[in-house]
Amino acid sequence: MDSDRPLWDLFTAGGPVMWPLLLCSLLSLTVILERAFFWLRINVADDRDAIDKLLESCRTRDRRGDGEQTEERSGRHGAVYGMLLRGMAHHEYSASRAMEAVALEELKKMRRGMNILDTVITVAPMLGILGTVTGIIGSFTALGQAGIADPQAVIAGIAEALITTAAGLIISVATVFPFNYFNSRIEDAQDLFEHCGTRLEIAREHVCREKER
């Protein structure tokens, strides 16, 4: 138990602002772990060959029956494959809207919790500054009451100011790296959805022109 005392003493020395900072760190850690497991499990487009074959099959002939197996195949080949199958299932009408609905649903899952991380990145340093202000106020209050005769009271206020500032910055910096990584994964997925959706639209136009001949 004695080994835990320095950490607890450091926490208490930071003053009451350390409690909301602790809450921020717990929220950030929870979301980061959940998002990390999400991206380890998610299957966006792990089979590019299957996607290329599906797009080629759409270009060369009408694959109306593929839409009936959307759920099964999308689970096996990834979200992009499922989006394309949904579009092919609606090849006679609103294929682009059907694909857009699937893409938006998948992107919504990918963005879950990102607003929490964004908030923590913004709020944690501000809480640190708030702790700095309250610590300095405490220092000047102690200085006015005790004067130079009791420097320990002044030092406690300065310690509170420095600890909260450091804690807020650490939480923010530790959150911004996974936040940017998750955002990059979302942007890559969105680009892939748009790219493959455009390729399917081009393939459908090719099929329509071939039928008109």
Per residue in 5-59, pLDDT tens? 577 777 887 888 999 999 999 999 999 999 999 998 887 766 677 787 877 777 6
* CA 160/CA 128 separation, integer angstroms: 10
Provide the pLDDT confidence category of residue 70 given band limits of 50, 70 and 90: very low
142 and 195 fall within a common domain: yes
Q: Evaluate whether residue 4 is within a structural domain.
A: no
53 and 144 fall within a common domain: no
The pLDDT value recorded for residue 63 is 46
Please state the pTM of the whole predicted model. Answer: 0.80
Q: Evaluate whether residue 3 is within a structural domain.
A: no
54 and 151 fall within a common domain: no
Instruction: Indicate the number of domains in the chain.
Output: 2
The pLDDT value recorded for residue 4 is 52
Q: Evaluate whether residue 6 is within a structural domain.
A: no
Q: Evaluate whether residue 185 is within a structural domain.
A: yes
Per residue in 164-186, pLDDT tens? 999 999 999 999 999 999 999 99
**DSSP SS3 for 213:** coil
Which comes out higher in pLDDT, residue 178 or 142? 178
Complete DSSP assignment for 66-117: GGGGHHHHHHHH-HHHHHHHHHHHTTTS-HHHHHHHHHHHHHHHHTTTHHHH
52 and 102 fall within a common domain: yes
Domain that holds residue 69: 48-110
81 and 132 fall within a common domain: no
* CA 209/CA 207 separation, integer angstroms: 5
Provide the pLDDT confidence category of residue 144 given band limits of 50, 70 and 90: low
End-to-end CA gap in the chain: 83
